[in-house]
A and B are shown apart, each in its own frame.
Chain A
Amino acid sequence: MSTTEIERQWTTRLRKRVAGKLPPEKLLPDTQPSYVSSWIYVFGVTTLSAMIVVIVTGCVLALRGPQWWHGSSFGHFVNSLHLWSVEIFFFAMVVHLWGKFFMGAWRGGRSLTWMTGVITFLASVATAFTGYASQSNFDSQWITTQAKDGINATGAGSFFNVLNLGQMLMWHIVLLPLAAVVLTALHVLLVRIKGVVPPYEENAGEAQ
């Protein structure tokens, strides 16, 4: 096989492209610009950490099936861990979003980073909603019978039946978490590729 042929391979081209866009020092940096020195930056990594705790506690709940936590005190405790990690996740995510808004974090070619963040937020809202719909208790009875009217009114209810426990559970534990995790990974990679947005400068010179 000639060198030219190897250079033309999809695998070779993809590896070079990835290595060019995201060299190891960008993926796992050991320094950061000095302006990154505010508490607001903590909320991105907090969101990510809470997401990991949400997934781990959700996996523990999945081990014994959807009814387990109703009849087991340990199961109920794991459900509490799942609930509170979700609350922390959303709190951190919303603060992170507001922080990034006030920084104008889309500047300098970072609009895709902003957009993946917003879509991750919306996917997370849907994931949490389907979790509430899958609880198989009074809350899920009430929440689904109320929510159906809004979703049905858009036409989406013809395909996304919130009263169908099986459908909601599948969306909650498979489809939406998968989407949220993929979107989060994409978002984090974009942050690493593009870096953290520099501060505004009233007398700025050249564009990046």
Chain B
Amino acid sequence: MSTKAFRPDVDAPTYKGGHSPYDIIKEGTIAIVIVSVLTLLLSVVFGSPDDAAITIKTWSNKAPVDFASTALSELNGTSGTAGYGAPYNTASDGQKLGPFPLAKWAGATIPVNSVQDFVIDPLKSLPNQPALQSGLATWTKAPQSTRDTWVANYTKAASNMKFVNGQVIVKASDAGPVPIFINDLTQMARTGALDQALITGNGYYTTDYTKPLLFLADGSYIGNLAQKQHLLGEQWGMMNETGSYPGQAWLWLYTFWYQVPPFSTSLADNADVDVWGMMMLLSVLLLLLPFIPGLRALPRKLKVYRLIWREHYRG
């Protein structure tokens, strides 16, 4: 037996008291039965949410101007995806943890070209559209500066975009084939063909929804639906789920940081990586708690253990 100095937050005293009967198998069996019954009751009473996934078809039919505006933002480079940076492209350095651009270092491993992937390539898949085929040919032959001019002229006029009689109306001049692109992409989306084009872009069999989800997230429609379901970031975001369900309540601390300064104010533009850094630090502290003087003394000083072991101390 060691005679070294006893460290109350590291060492445990030798227990010299009595023992009680303990049927570990019976305890485990009873626990499984109780948890199963409780699960059954909660499921019968509350069920679970399953709001159907929205589609680009739904979005473009319910909010055609929002869809067409988003399509234009993919073309003129102002969409969230177009300017995202890694892992989708190199348009920006992305967020930094202190001086370290972690995302940039990891690289654009999931390349997404918003012009080509979201607009031009889907339009190329449309058959029997002579005006569109001509427009695509014109676009392909034109130098980048000319394309930029067309897109800029259309963008200027698009503040008064309307959707009338199934057509996207923008009174733009010198916009080249851009009006055809935006209108035909909207028509394509409203039939459901754009969903298919984006989903099957990588082949017949696919389980990768990166492109259609990025396109959806660039618009306002999904955010407006999420707001009604109390799912926005400032509404404690993704720890909730549709309906009145507990959701991922265990993410409360992660979501909490987004609600308070400086993450909600001065650091808002860099909040994602800062909050992740904070959570990583806290997780490491929790993991290494037994080795951190001061922190590991907290339970002894807080004396909650007296409540837990009250019968032992009474004895």
Q: Which residues of A approach B to under 8 Å, CB–CB? A: 28-38, 40, 42, 45-46, 48-50, 52-53, 57, 69-70, 76-77, 79-85, 87-88, 90, 94, 99, 101-104, 106-111, 114-115, 118-119, 122, 125, 128-129, 132, 135-147, 149-159, 161, 163-167, 169, 197-201, 204-208
Q: State in angstroms the CA–CA spacing of A164 and B110 once bound together.
A: 10
* A107-B11, A142-B238 as given contacts; A37 in contact with B110, CB under 8 Å: no
Question: Is B213 in contact with A146, judged by CB distance below 8 angstroms?
Answer: no
Q: Are A90 and B250 in contact (CB under 8 A)?
A: yes
| Cα–Cα, bound, A156→B277 (Å) | 13
Subset of 18 A-B contacts with CB under 8 Å: A35-B312, A49-B32, A70-B50, A85-B35, A88-B35, A111-B290, A118-B286, A119-B287, A125-B251, A139-B242, A145-B222, A150-B272, A157-B110, A163-B208, A169-B207, A206-B3, A207-B4, A208-B12
Stretch at the interface among B122-130, B163-171, B301-309: B301-309
* Given A53-B35, A101-B299, also A150-B275 (CB < 8 A): yes
Does B38 reach chain A (CB closer than 8 Å)? yes
Do the beta carbons of A149 and B287 come within 8 Å of each other?
no
CB <8 Å contact, A28 and B213: no
**Smallest CB separation, A55 vs chain B (Å):** 12
Which of A81, A101, A104, A114 is close to B39, meaning CB atoms less than 8 Å apart? A81
| Residues in B neighbouring A135, C-beta threshold 8 A | 50
- Given A114-B289, A152-B86; A79-B50 close (CB under 8 Å): yes
Any A CB within 8 A of the CB of B117: no
Given A142-B226, A197-B12 in contact, is the A155-B47 Cβ separation under 8 Å?
no
Q: Is the CB of A199 within 8 A of B210?
A: no
The stretch among B67-75, B98-106, B172-180, B186-194 that forms the contact with chain A is B98-106
* Bound CA span A57–B312, Å: 40
Cα(A154)–Cα(B87), bound, Å: 11
Q: Which residues of A contact B204 (CB under 8 A)?
A: none
A84 touches B39 (CB 8 A): yes
Q: Are A38 and B11 in contact (CB under 8 A)?
A: no
Cα A151 to Cα B126 with chains together (Å) = 35
Task: Give B contacts to A, CB under 8 Å.
Answer: 1-4, 6-15, 17-25, 27-28, 31-32, 34-36, 38-40, 42-43, 46-54, 84, 86-87, 94-95, 97, 102-103, 105-110, 206-210, 213-214, 216-217, 222, 225-226, 229, 231, 233, 237-238, 241-242, 245-246, 248-251, 272-273, 275-276, 283, 286-291, 296, 298-300, 302, 304-305, 308-313, 315
- B229 → A minimal CB distance (Å): 8
Nearest A residue to B250 via CB reads A90
Say yes or no: A159-B106 contact (C-beta < 8 A), given A125-B251, A132-B241.
yes
Most chain A Cβ neighbours within 10 Å, of B10, B13, B233: B13
User: Which of chain B's residues have a CB closer than 8 A to the CB of A169?
Assistant: 207
Chain B contacts for A151, CB-based, 8 A: 276
Q: Are A30's CB and B21's CB within 8 A?
A: yes
Q: Is there an interface contact between B110 and A161, defined as CB atoms closer than 8 Å?
A: yes
Are A204 and B53 neighbours in the complex by a CB distance under 8 Å? no
A104 touches B286 (CB 8 A): no
Q: Check if B290 sits within 8 Å of A29, measured CB to CB.
A: no
